[in-house]
Structure 1
Amino acid sequence: MRKGTVTEKLSLTTCVLFAACVAACVAACASDHQVSPWGAARRPHLAAYVAPPDLEAHLRAIDVEAAELGLKLEVELRGALPRRGGEVVLRGYGGTDAIGRRTSAVRVATPRGVVMAAGPLDSGRADRSHATQLIPSLLPGSEPDATEQLGAFRSGTDLNRDGAPDVVLRNEAGALEIWGVQPFGAGRYAVELAAPPRFALDVDHDGTLELAGRIPVAEGDPIAPDLLDVAGFEGGRYTHRSDAARAFHAARAGGSGAGGQGKPKEPEMDDAARLRGALERAWHALLAGRPA
């Protein structure tokens, strides 16, 4: 039987990658969830507007709940709400569930109430995808440690320049979420990305971070392409259709782009190396919006 040429393999694989990319984007758009402290109403009760602001009372209520759940305070961050809305307090907690696994939880309070409550996950819960760990700050880089240190891109500050303080969370699989906080509630920003966002990069050097993720590659894959995607903040969401993301992909595909981020051409040593480079360029060309 005749073996397929590199060109034939590339053509077939590009179609598969494009279909996978579209499916991943649809899944990402449909996976948004929100945590509401207001119950089934999903909005503040009238009493929240009538009652006088009392941040310390809400923090005391969080303390009582944390003690009942056996949670210990691990990090507390403070920020400012927009339009002179007062202070916002972010708290990250840690604990142990009924079967000995480490658990985490996040509570966010403003003078108007406890506006965000994530975790801890119940020990019997099968779906562990919800993010419940507070990340103090995002640092540009591809390593998990780049989300641990307290740096310039800190939770409790406005990370995407939309005017609201933001909260960075991570789930047990390492995927990141970013939430925007308002005086009466909090909402998760939608993310359109071909892979779960696990780290952040400043691809256009504008002082704000883009979320980034890679398509996982099976161990021992002889080709092992580096299929990286990024999502910039645009139109109230993080999307790989943003100008910054498409410029990044255009540069990686071999065209002009932001900041000279293009990868050097790989030496053509064998079929695997040629196919790896061709797949990566095709991947970035598709995400840059070029015809397949």
Structure 2
Amino acid sequence: MGVLALSCASDHQVSPWGAARRPTLGAYVAPADLDARLRAIDLEVAELGLSLDVELRGALPRGRGEVVVRGYSGTDALGRRTSAVRVATPRGVVMAAGPLEGARADRRQATQLVPSLLPGSEAAPAHDELGVFRSGTDLNRDDAPDVVLRNEAGELEIWAVHPLGAVRYAVEIATPPRFALDVDRDGLLELAGRVRVPERDPIGPDLLDVASFEGGRYTHRGGAARAFHAARAGEAAGPGKPPGRSKDDGTPPARPKDDAMPPARPKDDGRPPAPPEDDATRLRRALERAWHALLAGRPAEETLAALDREQVPPALREAFAAHRARVAGVAPARPTGAATSDGTRGPGGAPTRPPAASGTPD
């Protein structure tokens, strides 16, 4: 008996995607339709009971289409004001921030649109006015439109918008950024923030930090920010004092030679002499000088030692200690085992005594 073997031949190399043999990215990406994205946003915010406050339009680079930035506001179930931001490109809704709802919502999330960044101080923000540095434009010259948000505490975030998404810029700064400055007058804004000091603080130092845009992020370690701090450290030193030196720097006064001429008397210009600096002003200058010196990259040990040589009256010791701790907090951490100026090392390092110290117990 013969056996008839039947087989079915099939070309398993045939692909439904044609010669490419695999789907292209376009198969997964929605077609470009900005109006459809905006209609989807309209339906969503209507269900949430949000009202449109502002709409801004910008452009994606290389002719990739328009960007629409919208800020909304509303009221939650507890009667609290809420806010939301939606950003759309022809390819999709690339940002959806807010509204915050419920007692468990993280109130630190930024959900309020900042239409425009205006150079100024935290005391007099004017972010809601449209200016040159507005959301939907390229704020840092990296070829991407940017959107600025803030949270309920006034802290700022900046996001870069791309055709298929949005990315938040990293920010390295010693204080939460709440406003913007152009510290080097180059036409680009730096993020800025200052340590909040109680109104009745007896010393009241102005501890300000800035972060410039360098290397794809905002940082206070870049050249523009450090130059700003170096200049401020010099200003805080006061007239006639070198930057980074305290009023009492521990060096003995130079002894005049026997044949030295006595110093010339200052010319009487009719103005009364400046009053002596009070303790609070002196300590405020010393704290600000140390703060800016550390952020300018000057040696922490030397800077803090100069600060610690200041004479602090009993009435100001508590406030000074609190501010001194804040200033020391911006100093870069010493690596484990790094030697100090007297030859000792931190935890995990050896030796733990100066080289000349005895090995016997004290």
Shorter-chain TM range is: 0.7 to 0.9
Aligned: 1:123 with 2:102: yes
Aligned to 2:179: 199
Output the CA distance in 2 between the equivalents of 1:247 and 1:203.
9
Aligned: 1:134 with 2:113: yes
Which of 134, 137, 146 is matched with 1:166 structurally?
Answer: 146
Aligned to 2:43: 64
Task: List runs of 5+ in structure 1 lacking aligned partners.
Answer: 1-45, 255-261
Deviations 1:50-99 (A, max 9, x none): 43200000000000000000000000000000121100000000000010
Three-state SS of the structure 1 residue aligned to 2:225 is helix
How far has the Cα of 1:146 moved from its partner? Answer: 2.3
Aligned to 1:265: 238
Output the CA distance in 1 between the equivalents of 2:152 and 2:81.
10
Aligned to 1:112: 91
1:249 alignment partner AA: H
1:94 alignment partner AA: S
Alignment of structure 1 residues 229-240 onto 2, 5 Å:
229-240=209-220
- The count of residues paired between Structure 1 and Structure 2 equals 241
User: Closer, same or farther in 2 for the Cα pair 1:171/1:98, shift >3 Å?
Assistant: same
Deviations 1:190-226 (A, max 9, x none): 1111111000000000000000000111231111100
Say if 2:236 and 2:288, in contact at 8 Å, map to a contact too.
no
Three-state SS of the structure 1 residue aligned to 2:41 is helix
Aligned to 2:166: 186
Which of 188, 194, 207 is matched with 1:214 structurally?
Answer: 194
More helix, by proportion = 1
How far has the Cα of 1:47 moved from its partner? Answer: 6.7
User: Closer, same or farther in 2 for the Cα pair 1:275/1:198, shift >3 Å?
Assistant: same
User: Closer, same or farther in 2 for the Cα pair 1:50/1:179, shift >3 Å?
Assistant: closer
Output the CA distance in 2 between the equivalents of 1:47 and 1:99.
45
Three-state SS of the structure 1 residue aligned to 2:108 is coil
Say if 2:85 and 2:98, in contact at 8 Å, map to a contact too.
yes
1:70 alignment partner AA: G
Normalised TM-score (structure 1)? 0.79
Say if 1:138 and 1:147, in contact at 8 Å, map to a contact too.
yes
1:229 alignment partner AA: D
Output the CA distance in 2 between the equivalents of 1:112 and 1:127.
29
How far has the Cα of 1:126 moved from its partner? Answer: 4.5
User: Closer, same or farther in 2 for the Cα pair 1:119/1:144, shift >3 Å?
Assistant: farther
More strand, by proportion = 1
Aligned to 2:332: none
How far has the Cα of 1:145 moved from its partner? Answer: 2.8
Say if 1:268 and 1:274, in contact at 8 Å, map to a contact too.
no
Larger Rg: 2
Say if 1:135 and 1:147, in contact at 8 Å, map to a contact too.
yes
Output the CA distance in 2 between the equivalents of 1:249 and 1:54.
48
Is 182-191 or 264-273 further displaced after alignment? 264-273
Task: List runs of 5+ in structure 2 lacking aligned partners.
Answer: 1-24, 240-274, 301-362
Aligned to 1:155: 135
Output the CA distance in 1 between the equivalents of 2:286 and 2:189.
28
Aligned: 1:89 with 2:68: yes
1:240 alignment partner AA: H
How far has the Cα of 1:144 moved from its partner? Answer: 4.8
**Structure 1 runs of 4+ with >4 Å offset:** 46-49
Normalised TM-score (structure 2)? 0.64
Output the CA distance in 2 between the equivalents of 1:50 and 1:270.
67
How far has the Cα of 1:137 moved from its partner? Answer: 0.4
User: Closer, same or farther in 2 for the Cα pair 1:126/1:207, shift >3 Å?
Assistant: same
Three-state SS of the structure 1 residue aligned to 2:61 is coil
User: Closer, same or farther in 2 for the Cα pair 1:127/1:144, shift >3 Å?
Assistant: farther
Aligned: 1:54 with 2:33: yes
Identity rate of aligned residues, in percent?
A: 78
What is the aligned-residue RMSD (CA, Å)? 1.8
Comparing both chains, which one has the higher relative contact order based on Cα–Cα distances under 8 Å and sequence gaps of 6 or more? 1
Aligned to 1:100: 79
